[in-house]
């Protein structure tokens, strides 16, 4: 091997390592000090102990926030996938005028800040004289996640599925029957993956939830409130727990969406 290419490899390895250290450092510190046996999540490390996880899981505000987050996450993701799937089906299976326009409208929210979506809903609530509520978080999360579910479904509704649908129609199945007995089972992995992705994004979303709720807040806002008290191992514990949940969701997505396609 020439010395220059060996030098190149060494430099590449060094750069790659440096990047990984930079990227993974905060998460590593977060998780490590969630096991800190002491009042502050800073070095030196003592422990490990699980007491901060116990504290977090017996914290009522935290658990209420977790409950709300699960509710919003499941509700908004289910709605996003249903609406997104139906729209993707309509766009990919039927020829009609304004198809491009409607598709453009559906994916528009992908190109704006969440702040704008939240502000819009807040101003709307105020103009209608309504108070903030958890329902508005669901509404907002469908606005930001449905375009994503739509795009995933659209990418999966290919020619292969179309032929099977035609076969079912020739055999006398109604449109509804084709949809529920043929199309949906065929792209079920994509639907579940879309659901998981929407859920991960929803249960982590801050600004919309912050703007349109007041008392029945979601988990990220409970954490936000806790941050005002400074560094606290309990926050580390909750953060590590959320991280674990998201990773599990993503492993599910990877398994359902990508393994299938590669096979």
Partner 1 sequence: MASTNEARAASQARLAGLGFTLPAVAWILLFFGAPLVIMAIYSLLPLDAEGAPGGFSLDAYRQFFGESAYVEAVWNSVVTTAVVVVVSLLLAYPFAYILAYRVPKRWQRLAIACAILPFWTSYVVRSYAWLLVLAPTGIVNWVLINLGVVARPITLAYNPSATELGFVHFFIMLNALTIYANLVQINPRYVLAAQDLGASSWKSFLAVTFPLSIPGMTVGAFLTVVLCIGDFITPQILGGNKELLLPQVIMMQIQRQLDLPMASVMSLVLTLIVAVVYLLLQRQMRMARL
C-beta of 188 vs 227, nearer to partner 1:
227
CB of 31 to partner 1, least distance (A): 9
CB of 134 to partner 1, least distance (A): 15
C-beta of 12 vs 180, nearer to partner 1:
12
C-beta of 60 vs 95, nearer to partner 1:
95
C-beta of 96 vs 171, nearer to partner 1:
96
- Which residue is it, tokens 């929803």? 202
CB of 188 to partner 1, least distance (A): 18
Q: With beta carbons less than 8 A apart as the criterion, state whether 142 and 73 touch.
A: no
Per-residue burial over 147-168, b if 16 or more Cβ lie within 10 Å, else e, is bbbbbbbbebbeeebeeebeeb
Per-residue burial over 226-246, b if 16 or more Cβ lie within 10 Å, else e, is beeeeebbbbbbbbbbbeebb
CB of 72 to partner 1, least distance (A): 14
C-beta of 22 vs 215, nearer to partner 1:
22
Residue 225's φ and ψ, nearest 5 degrees, are -65, -40
Q: With beta carbons less than 8 A apart as the criterion, state whether 216 and 133 touch.
A: yes
- Cα torsion angle, 83, 75, 237, 246, sign: negative
CB of 158 to partner 1, least distance (A): 16
């Amino acid at each position: 091997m020439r010395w220059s290419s060996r030098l190149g490899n060494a430099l590449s390895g060094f750069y790659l390592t440096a990047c990984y250290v930079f990227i993974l450092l905060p998460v590593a510190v977060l998780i490590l000090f969630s096991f800190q046996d002491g009042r502050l999540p800073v070095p030196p490390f003592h422990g490990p102990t699980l007491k901060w996880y116990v504290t977090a899981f017996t914290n009522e505000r935290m658990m209420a926030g977790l409950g709300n987050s699960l509710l919003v996450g499941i509700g908004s993701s289910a709605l996003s996938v249903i609406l997104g799937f139906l729209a993707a089906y309509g766009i990919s299976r039927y020829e009609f005028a304004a198809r491009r326009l409607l598709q453009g409208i559906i994916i528009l929210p992908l190109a704006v800040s969440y702040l704008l979506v939240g502000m819009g809903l807040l101003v709307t609530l105020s103009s209608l004289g309504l108070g903030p509520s958890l329902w508005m978080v669901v509404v907002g999360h469908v606005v930001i996640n449905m375009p994503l579910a739509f795009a995933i479904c659209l990418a999966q509704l290919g020619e292969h599925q179309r032929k099977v649908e035609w076969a079912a129609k020739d055999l006398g199945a109604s449109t509804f029957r084709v949809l529920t007995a043929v199309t949906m089972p065929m792209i079920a992995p994509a639907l579940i993956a879309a659901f998981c992705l929407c859920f991960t994004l929803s249960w982590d979303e801050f600004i919309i939830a912050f703007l349109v709720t007041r008392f029945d807040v979601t988990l990220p806002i409970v954490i936000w409130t806790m941050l005002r008290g400074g560094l606290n191992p309990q926050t580390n514990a909750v953060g590590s727990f959320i991280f674990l949940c998201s990773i599990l969701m993503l492993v599910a997505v990877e398994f359902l969406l990508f393994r299938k396609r590669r096979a």
